[in-house]
Structure 1
């Protein structure tokens, strides 16, 4: 496991703005069986490191049952019958615990035998396993928090014609089972929270972590209006790209789909073409910003169009990467100089072939997930974690001297210094 350190010898103050600091709601129980194991290990490591640091400053914390542990993970058994039906069992007790269930519905790296054939787990199956875990723990846990980094059915956030409104139905189902909080990251459209107006739904941005990792990995990027632009690859990511461009104080460009209608053999036909709207990209480094890399074709098409317009380097960043059609096309685009590098968070499963690719870089999020879990356990305000603009501004101002903070991922102590 990659070593993740916590500045335990430095001051650890209340980072969430609550004075006095609120008490813990109970011992933390992490259910991370559905996550990629390395991510689960890093989250537990960061959480344990933070609490050991707090215990050094406040020894009385050690008297709180279950507050300081080496391992907060709870053992569970998610198994399936050979027919494909599933079942869940929580092995360790969660009575009186503050339960956090972390799930990655994109984790196709897990598989099971169905009628003697190995099949990978689908998002639908992961979601049903999540509901089983809630049913196993609801009767004895103090509270249940669901942290689902990639929002299941997030692209089905609105209804058109005779389509199903899956995301809203999913949220209502989970809150109907009795969960207390639902946390996701970079929801495709956070207005899906309107489906559960009386419940606690939060969508956290990953913009700060993305910008930090990009600037650390590509240190010769010049963040100014003359040398960089942010470009949205489609209409759905315009608001996200506007925030990046505003925070970094660089121009914005947009790709949108132009739809033309004409009659062909007395039948009205629609043709769609991708059109660029924005300033000249000639000689500039471009960052394409999206919430999801599906097959990667949209990124490749946009990058090709930008290179034809004279763009220098094209960097792609997405909150989550699926690579549904493999990595051959993206690898070819990198070899041809169309795409410089692809960035994505480590909160969704990435196969080994992606992690070993020279053109791919993870955006580490374990530190932030551990901090979020600690905040929820104390019922602390989440405002500072949800508003990254100040941290981005501080990061850009620090580029001149490139201190140690600018070279590594966000740590708990960083938030204290920047606020």
Structure 2
């Protein structure tokens, strides 16, 4: 990742509000910003820059929860005139709260309400408000197929009405949802560069050669992502098509009958399956088993978000059987320790990129270099 050079005055003094759901990532992001600014500001001795040197840019804040489950956001220091970045992980199911003496796990709905509470506590005193929500709230309900709610669009409009000027997310399920807020900044960033960098560093046996490696899309929705990976790496691409039973609805969706493969022969090749997320993992397991039955050599999986909503027992089984060799996933949403400790899991750290994003926006520079990682990936391949 190319470093952002700090050469001018920022739009406003930086303040980062980190929700409890994002404490670990927020701390890493803050550390990167502090280090970078101290190194860069040492070359610039203007009075403003010296004043802006801090040991932390995190605003002291909290969510106060009442015994009946209601809550309020509280900022413990001034944010007047500051350029505020709110950082939250709506997918962190490890956060709990007490209600009527019972311990409840925080759902995405609970986290989103907390985000709005923190924005409400700003009360118009900040110079600008930006929201970094790596896992976009209700991103899986981004379009209407029948008489359904359109939750993601409504949530974005709520944030716009509260004064949020820019919303940043990663690998949005459907980027066209930004049409709901045409006057508000919306950017969906990607983790492609960091994932390829991690693969290249960790799996030295992988050869980025089309005769030895192939990219697979698990469904039609992930095809654009697979094509990008294949194009930038100079590889062939294949596709699995999901045949569904449209006569039934199970857990809110039509069950998959079979995965049909379309593409070149995979025999003797390493396979890289790419997608935005793993929910239950069912599709990945079916596809990995099908690829091994076609005599694929090693199967790797690269995603931005990993949930395994039904647990990781089957993933452990598939690893032991040799069906899946390694899973690469970012730390943009909560990762339990049992995932991190598994031999098949490789965490891809995105904190440096998020810190560069904050610095870039705070100094009113273009985020285009962060959106397009083509040149950086080519440098990895050249080496």
TM-score (structure 2 length as normaliser) = 0.94
What's the offset of the Cα at 1:79? 2.3
CA contact (8 A) 2:132 2:167 kept: yes
Are residues 1:167 and 2:152 paired?
A: yes
Q: For 1:270 and 1:121, locate their aligned partners in 2 and report how far apart those are by CA, in whole Å.
A: 28
State the Cα distance separating 1:138 from its structure 2 match: 3.7
TM-aligned CA deviation for residue 341 of structure 1: 0.8
Whether 1:387 aligns to 2:378 is no
Q: CA RMSD in A?
A: 2.0
Residue of structure 1 in register with 2:16 after alignment = 30
Deviation at 1:66, TM superposition (A): 4.8
1:14 maps onto 2:5 in alignment: yes
Contact 1:24/1:379, CA 8 A, preserved across alignment: yes
Q: Quote the offset at 1:287 in angstroms.
A: 0.7
Instruction: Give 1:59's aligned residue.
Output: 45
CA distance in 1, matches of 2:179, 2:19: 30
**Distance in 1 (alpha carbons) for counterparts of 2:245 and 2:356:** 49
Aligned to 1:227: 212
Q: Deviations over 1:230-263 (max 9, x none)?
A: 101112111111111111110001111135899x
User: 1:365-387 deviations in whole A, cap 9, x for unaligned?
Assistant: 11101000000001100111101
CA shift, 1:85, in A, is 1.4
Q: Any conservation in 1 of the 2:19–2:115 contact (CA below 8 Å)?
A: no
State whether residues 242 and 256 of structure 2, in contact with CA within 8 Å, keep that contact through their aligned partners in structure 1.
Answer: no
Give distance in 1, aligned partners of 2:152 and 2:238.
Answer: 30
Shift of 1:270: 9.8
Equivalent residue, structure 2, for 1:82: 67
The alpha carbon displacement at 1:97 in A equals 0.8
Contact 1:102–1:148, Cα closer than 8 Å, also in 2: yes
- For structure 1, the 5+ residue unaligned runs are 1-5, 16-20, 263-268, 399-419
CA distance in 1: counterparts of 2:377 and 2:213, whole angstroms: 16
Deviations 1:387-412 (A, max 9, x none): 111111111111xxxxxxxxxxxxxx
Say yes or no: does 1:194 pair with 2:179.
Answer: yes
Pairwise CA distance, 1:36: 3.7
Structure 2 CA distance for partners of 1:364 and 1:270, relative to 1, 3 Å: closer
Q: Is the 8 A contact 2:275 2:303 kept in 1?
A: yes
Q: What is the DSSP-based 3-state SS (H/G/I as helix, E as strand, rest coil) of the residue aligned with 2:9?
A: coil
Q: Please point out which of 132, 135, 138 is paired with 2:117.
A: 132
Deviation track 1:109-140 (CA, whole Å, cap 9, x = no partner) reads 11011221111100000000001111111421
Equivalent pair of 1:232/1:254 in contact (CA under 8 Å): yes
**Equivalent residues of 2:133, 2:168 under 8 A apart:** yes
Contact 1:28/1:66 (8 A) holds in 2: no
**Where does 1:276-295 land on structure 2 (aligned, <5 Å)?**
276-295=261-280
Q: Deviations over 1:131-183 (max 9, x none)?
A: 11111114211110000001111111111110111111111110011111100
> Which of the numbers 155, 168, 177 marks the counterpart of 1:183?
168
Aligned positions of 1:14-413 closer than 5 A: 14=5, 22-60=8-46, 63-64=48-49, 66-259=51-244, 272-398=257-383
Q: Distance in 1 between matches of 2:174 and 2:315?
A: 26
Distance in 2 (CA, whole Å) between partners of 1:327 and 1:182 is 32
**1:369–1:270: structure 2 CA closer, same or farther, 3 Å change rule?**
closer
2:250 alignment partner in structure 1: none
5+ residue gaps, structure 2, are: 248-253
Offset of residue 26 of structure 1: 1.3
2: CA distance, partners of 1:48 / 1:270: 49
